[in-house]
Amino acid sequence: QKSLTASDIRERKGGGPLVCLTAYTTPTARLVDPHCDITLVGDSVGMVLHGLPSTLGVTLEMMVLHGKAVMRGLSRSLCVIDLPFGTYEESSEQAFRSASRLLAETGATAVKLEGGVHMAETISFLVARGVPVVGHIGLTPQSVNVLSGYKVQGKGTDAQRVLADAQAVSDAGAFAVVLEKIPQALAHRITQTITIPTIGIGAGPACDGQILVVDDMLGAFADFKPKFVKRYAELSQQASQAIEQYAAEVRAGEFPEQMHSFGPPV
């Protein structure tokens, strides 16, 4: 089976919704791959798996390591890897150095970077040199300290700014763009205006596709329940019960049983 290409994704504009999820490990990539068009190795890995307080501390080395792990589990979906904070903003040359390393060392197809109008030059520089790019606008978590938190973006007159960002990313040659945490009416307007697929997270149903952090939709955390996430499972609850039962059985001398043991009983 051949894996999807950046052109395949771009051509899905206006077609059936693109299904996208994150993955950071081989086993999760194997679960996600048969059902998804894009598997994103998001820099959310820093918060989800490494306990970092934001995505700002994520390094290129972390993205390479998780990118390699995810690629081992994919056969069909297109793999996109996030460029982490501080590895692309300084210049187009710095962005190409980081992006080419991500793609060369992992075998992934494309990178994603945050920013609209001010990153347009970098996006065209990368695309012209063989790096397919996914944009990311609206709430851009790497700018949490400038945005002063993870608030909905593009409300009221701020909509013009986000629309301009979408247009710039599309014109610069990105093959898709993530719209994060913006009003659904604005996401609808952007989706109707630009020529590349929009992939929404907290951006309503009008987008050309949807993405969620896989651990969020699986309920892998007890405490993180943002409005835009639907929980399709309660893994953290199930895991916590399982661990509690294991501890109780070990303390009671009930585990391991004969079926888990080797040789004659003692």
Q: Which residue is it, tokens 């771009």?
A: 10
Any contact of residue 180 with Na ion (CB under 5 A)? no
**Residues 6+ positions from 216 with CB-CB distance below 8 Å:** 224, 226, 229, 231
Phi, psi angles (nearest 5°) of residue 224: -100, 105
Any contact of residue 213 with ligand KIV (CB under 6 A)? yes
For this structure, is 180 an active site residue?
yes
Both tokens assigned to 152? 């909905």
Quick one: what does residue 119 bind among Na ion, ligand KIV, none, with the CB cut-off 5 to 8 Å set by partner type? none
Cβ atoms of 14 and 193 closer than 8 Å = no
Q: Which residues between 228 and 257 bind Na ion (CB under 5 A)?
A: none
Chain centroid, CA 37 distance in Å: 12
Overall residue count recorded for the chain in this entry: 266
Euclidean distance between CA atoms 180 and 227, whole angstroms? 13
Q: Binding segment for ligand KIV among 37-45, 85-93, 152-160, 219-227 (CB under 6 A)?
A: 37-45
Q: How many CB atoms lie within 10 A of CB 162?
A: 23
- CB nearest ligand KIV: which residue? 42
Q: Which residues between 30 and 59 bind Na ion (CB under 5 A)?
A: 42-43
Any contact of residue 178 with ligand KIV (CB under 6 A)? yes
Any contact of residue 82 with ligand KIV (CB under 6 A)? yes
Site map (CB under 6 A) of ligand KIV, residues 118-147, x = contact: ------------------x-----------
Residues that bind ligand KIV (CB under 6 A): 22, 40, 42-44, 82, 136, 178, 201, 211, 213
Which positions are catalytic? 180
Binding residues vs Na ion (CB under 5 A): 42-43, 82
